[in-house]
Amino acid sequence: MRFLKNKIAKASGLPLSTSSPQAPTQRLPESPITPPEQASNPKKAQELRPKLEFPSESPPPSKKQLSGDHLMKNYGRAMTNFALSRVAQTYLKSITGQLGISLQSFSDYTEKRKKSANCIKNLREMLPMGTDEDEEDLEFKIAFQKICVVFLALFYLNV
Q: What is the mean pLDDT of the chain?
A: 75
Q: Which residues contact 108 (CB under 8 A, 6 or more apart)?
A: none
Residue 111 lies in a domain: yes
Residue 140 lies in a domain: yes
Residue 48 lies in a domain: no
Chain segment 53-71, per-residue pLDDT in tens: 656 666 665 555 555 556 7
A 10 A CB-CB count for 83 gives 27
**Domain ranges, residue 151:** 68-155
Whether 123 and 76 have beta carbons less than 8 Å apart is answered as yes
Whether 110 and 84 have beta carbons less than 8 Å apart is answered as yes
Residue 30 lies in a domain: no
Chain segment 14-36, per-residue pLDDT in tens: 776 665 555 555 565 555 555 55
What pLDDT was estimated at residue 22? 53
Q: Which residues contact 107 (CB under 8 A, 6 or more apart)?
A: 84
pTM metric for this prediction? 0.54
Residue 59 lies in a domain: no
Which of 2-11, 13-22, 93-102 is predicted most confidently? 93-102
- When divided into structural domains, the chain yields a total of 1
Residue 40 lies in a domain: no
Residue 119 lies in a domain: yes
